[in-house]
Amino acid sequence: MRIDQLLNKLCLIKTRSIAKKACDKKLVKINDKIAKSSSKVFQDDVVEYQIYGYLTIISVLEIPKGNVSKVNSTKFYEILKREKMEIE
């Protein structure tokens, strides 16, 4: 699954277009490599993104098939780190 779709489906980023823009600005990484919006994400990948004033690192436990409700979205990933970014 594409990284922009995954971030949107798991309710981590509000819209796919915001996720795409974050990728275009090099704010999203997959396994410590800068990700394009079309980059594929697989189970057990580590995704890092900086958006909404936070640095968030997640581990993908499972790739969803189809749409995911907000209530069930947390079973597809584990938050490894989430910290507020310092504004310079």
Integer Cα distance of 67 and 75 in angstroms: 13
Integer Cα distance of 32 and 83 in angstroms: 17
CATH class of the region 3-84? alpha beta
pLDDT of the residue at 88: 61
Closest CA to 31 of 48, 19, 43: 48
Q: Where are the domains of the chain?
A: 3-84
86 pLDDT band, cuts 50/70/90, is confident
Average pLDDT over residues 17-44: 95
Q: What is the pLDDT of residues 34-82, one digit of tens each?
A: 999 999 999 999 999 999 899 999 999 999 998 899 999 999 999 999 9
16 pLDDT band, cuts 50/70/90, is very high
